[in-house]
Structure 1
């Protein structure tokens, strides 16, 4: 295969893994931790994401379960851009995986890459 074709295929595959505002549905703000954090979540169970700030992403799963991922370090521009991509050869997204912020500049441009943390199950706070 030619190098340009490989790059086009890689970009197409990466865009399938893009999480951003177009996919996001608002997760409730009144969430509290519910149980022990896990290392991985199943890719097929992720319905949407909500980037809360430069260190926090809520993964909204099928069945409305929410896993909050708090990155070990701040990821520049994640909170303002609110979109990222990831690549994995597994059927899971794990705390050892890396996300890359995507900038909207006429097209999508790659920004900083940052490591994920553990996935903390969350639930609505009781009133």
Structure 2
């Protein structure tokens, strides 16, 4: 009986730390997004942006990626949440043509692994520019 009680306590402790980690990650993502978009005004969303060496992705969270192109920052809110999309992971993007476009597919590769995760899709790109 005592073993069952201890297992229940440990399970609850695991849930608490998991939800705490999620809350911490969410707070970090919100702070990173606010920092990158501070002092910028959103423009009209577009379906495609240029794809050059300077348009590297900055992963904010499993729903949001930022791209820089010149003085603009483009916020891409994904079509659906992408599992394993976290900062420090690598995005492998399938580009059709010379631009990154809405509905282009990508996969996420975690450090130390060789098999990428499931396919995810880009959403529209909202430009943010300084006033």
**Which structure's CA Rg is the greater one?**
2
SS of 1:51's equivalent in the other structure is strand
Q: Which moved more, 1:36-45 or 1:70-79?
A: 36-45
Uncovered stretches (5+) of structure 2, i.e. residues with no partner: 1-32
Moved over 3 A (4+): none
- When the two structures are superposed, what TM-score results if normalisation uses the length of structure 1? 0.65
**Counterparts in 2 of 1:3-82, with a 5 A limit?**
28-30=36-38, 33-44=41-52, 46-61=54-69, 63-82=70-89
Query: RMSD of the alignment, in Å?
Result: 2.4
Aligned length: 98
Cα distance in structure 2, aligned partners of 1:29 and 1:39: 20
Instruction: Give the helix-richer structure, 1 or 2.
Output: 2
> Deviation at 1:47?
3.1
Instruction: Give the strand-richer structure, 1 or 2.
Output: 1
Uncovered stretches (5+) of structure 1, i.e. residues with no partner: 1-25
Aligned pair in 2 of structure 1 residues 35, 90: CA closer, same or farther (>3 Å)?
same
